[in-house]
Structure 1
Amino acid sequence: MEAKKRNQSCKETIIPYLPYGVVTGILSKLPVKSLLRLRCVCKSWLNLVSAPQFITTHLHQSITNLSIEKLHIIIARCDFHDHRLYKFNLAAEKIDHILEIKSHPKLKFIGSSNGLVCFTYAGGSLFLYNLSTRVYKEIKPYGDFRYFDDRYKHGFGYDHSTDDYKVVKEDKDGFYVYSLRSDSWKKVVQHFPYHGLAVASGTLLNGALHWLLLDTIWMEPLAIVAFDLIDEKFREIPLPDFSTSAFKSELSRVKLLGGCLCILPLPHTGHEFLIMKKYGVKQSWTKVEIKAPYHRFMEPLALFYNDEALLLIDFVELVLYNTREGTCRNFVLQGMPDTNTKTFVVKAAYMESLVSPIMGGESKAISRIK
């Protein structure tokens, strides 16, 4: 009893003497897992860590100081009887969270932004889920449309102008946008104003989602189309000049790499990539080659300041490649069930955050969605 009183006295006398700015600065540099534990230290720290301003500060720290230690990987299990999302910790090289989805195997990954993951399954409701805090929000479909069909464009991203997260979806009847802040859907255009097939979800950069549209017969690039999440209008990004290159027929999708738009080749076709070093400038498209050993498929997931690139090999293997020294290091997926690796697919690089999918309401932490 005496020791308990001393500990309580210690908390009441030491913590209040730490300047607020000092406490904020120290805590903002800690990983999410540590912050979730520190919320239990005292009420003032709970209020601090839960405050919107602190969540924004912590997110900014993570973005500006991105390293391999802060990056996680989202892995989906594509088993007919069971679907799960795994969060793989690159620093510890182990699975540190599993989200079970029991009721239907048809899971579709829509995208991730600032620590929130957007996905749907069974063609029904959407879910926004923070894999670190384990807080989720279910988004009901709008009207009669339910399915996120591969024939239609879709994506998920952050609108910094209104501090809002938005889901976009094309349907045969128009193009729709969901706003998390207003918790509502709206139609923005009657029809998608471009022709072509997009084989991947929209890639977020500079407040807009980007799709590489391909000819449905020859599968050659037609255009890069961006949907601005702020003014909710479409614009076109210039393609590279393909007049003297056979590379055109090998391109399949646009991704984000090192803060730049990157056009990736089709699986099994090579290790050359096109990067737009200056956004919106056609002349800035540059061909980049990564000469890392690989088998049938390779995709760069992230570039780091120390000349390292995180590569995805054959959809399931993760490799850290040093572009300057030409050395490789494989990550072992510890914690994965002992099963056929073909049932697991790496979906995206993921950065932890405290961002909540709930705006202005109570939330619930879970590890399973039924």
Structure 2
Amino acid sequence: MADKASKAMNLLKLAEKRASLKKELDDRRRKQQLDSVPYLPKDCVSNILIRLPLESLQRSRFVCKPWFNIINDPRFVLDNLHRAETVLIFLCPVNGVVSRARFHHQDLGFRENPNTFSVESKIFELKSINLLHRPQIHPSSKYAIKYIVFADGKSTVSEFNATCLGKIRASCDGLIVIDNKLKDGELAIMNPVTRKLSLLPLGTIYPPHEESFGLARCRETGGYKLVHLFRDESQFIGCEVLQIGEKSWQVIDGPSFGLLKWFGFEPVSAIGALHWVPEIDHSEHIVSMTMDDLKFHKIMLPKSSRSNDRILEVSDHLCFVAHEEMNEISVWILKSVSGEPWSKIYTIAIGCIRDLIPLYFSRFKWEIYFMDKDGSVFVFDFRDRDMRKIAIKKGSFPIHEASYLAHVNSLVSWQINANRDTIES
């Protein structure tokens, strides 16, 4: 019996020794494999990651902690923003709407699938809402947030997999300001790519057909300011400004050089200011507000505007695209609000362009996009002096100008790193 016990003990020790040796060999192999992987400096990894599309970046940030830190670094976020091309963001009614009988507070999120982000569901998480006092909303008012890309003569409609009930009021650097339909007069700011969302404090509540919102970045602080112009009971223009992140709006005097007659065009952010065209037709000037000092300026246009003329941003300059008497379109540039004159840089005289409405300039190519009155989209290449039609699937994109905004997809947040004076995500 003693011999058998001794043999069993020896076999057990031998098995343990073999297991220990095997573990040691496995550890050596893993170490050799790790040692064989070349070391990549942080800057190299950053240069590789910055070339990935946003969808891949969103997933890549969770690969490891170093990648997470790189992708969330403010400098990386700004670099990514500077590489982003302009798109048009718009709302599209969602098919298969929930029936009225099922529309109760649990259904406010309208979640078709777990991957869909609902603005209203997020608002419920952020803030307790009194269901007895919320406005009556029909479920057919639910919209999907989409965007359209024009490139190489084609158009591509993509989704953020996000839904909302409210209207998009403003867009800047990938951020959008959107109505909170669960509380009258309240707004939310969000990035539809990162799905970050925050409620904004209540400002002046006034009928929406008599107001205009503009979102712009302040050059001095790097923060974002939301400007709200509205017509008061005396028919004068009131103004209030919200520094995003603060708890209250700042009330300031409206423009002192006359009434804005119509809020038909969305303001344009360029040369450190927001710019409005006060009339839809025959306007002699624009109204500008510089973001650093919140002062209004009256800037004369190089010529009286017409109904199809627009102001646009191009390379951080302000551009006035104007139709001439003949079948021509003039392109004017303004580089500063400090009294510099407009400079005429080009005249487009090709094809039937009388009814073309300017949409936006490409950020990386010397191209300008137009929309015809029937919804057709054209692009003019200044280098080739060529006007081309963009292929668009019928019904995939709204033709009414008030239904879309120029936008860029980015990782930007409204939070500020004051020490570095940069956008922080």
Alignment equivalent of 2:65, drawn from 30, 40, 43: 43
The 3-state SS of whatever aligns with 2:58 is helix
* Equivalence for 1:23: 45
* Equivalence for 1:220: 282
Higher RCO structure, 1 or 2 (CA under 8 Å, sep 6+): 1
Give 2:143's aligned amino acid.
Answer: H
* Equivalence for 1:211: 276
Q: Rg: which structure is higher?
A: 2
In 1, Cα distance between the equivalents of 2:88 and 2:391? Answer: 11
* Equivalence for 1:112: 171
Give 2:409's aligned amino acid.
Answer: E
Distance 1:188 1:57, change over 3 A: same
* Equivalence for 1:83: 143
In 1, Cα distance between the equivalents of 2:316 and 2:247? Answer: 30
Q: Is the Cα–Cα contact under 8 Å of residues 208 and 228 in structure 1 kept in the other structure?
A: yes
In 2, Cα distance between the equivalents of 1:206 and 1:19? Answer: 37
* Equivalence for 2:124: none
* Equivalence for 1:326: 386
Give 1:348's aligned amino acid.
Answer: L
Q: Is 1:229 paired with 2:291?
A: yes
In 2, Cα distance between the equivalents of 1:71 and 1:120? Answer: 23
State how 1:195-210 maps to structure 2 within 5 Å.
195-197=259-261, 198-210=263-275
Distance 1:181 1:220, change over 3 A: same
The alignment covers a number of residue pairs equal to 331
Please list the CA deviations of residues 210-252 of structure 1 after superposition, one character each: whole Å capped at 9, or x if unmatched: 112239xxx4214222111111112232321x4xxxx545566
TM-score by length of 1: 0.73
Q: Is 1:179 paired with 2:215?
A: no
Q: Is the Cα–Cα contact under 8 Å of residues 196 and 222 in structure 1 kept in the other structure?
A: no
In 1, Cα distance between the equivalents of 2:379 and 2:243? Answer: 36
TM-score by length of 2: 0.65
Q: Is 1:349 paired with 2:406?
A: yes
Please list the CA deviations of residues 1-24 of structure 1 after superposition, one character each: whole Å capped at 9, or x if unmatched: x9xx99997997688932122222
Structure 2 unmatched ranges of 5 or more: 1-22, 95-139, 418-425
Instruction: Give the C-alpha shift of residue 204 in structure 1.
Output: 0.6
Give 1:181's aligned amino acid.
Answer: G
Higher strand fraction (1 or 2): 1
Structure 1 unmatched ranges of 5 or more: 361-370
* Equivalence for 1:188: 252
Instruction: Give the C-alpha shift of residue 166 in structure 1.
Output: 0.9
The 3-state SS of whatever aligns with 1:23 is helix
Distance 1:304 1:250, change over 3 A: same
The 3-state SS of whatever aligns with 2:48 is helix
The 3-state SS of whatever aligns with 1:55 is helix
Give 1:182's aligned amino acid.
Answer: E
Percent of matched pairs sharing the same residue? 20
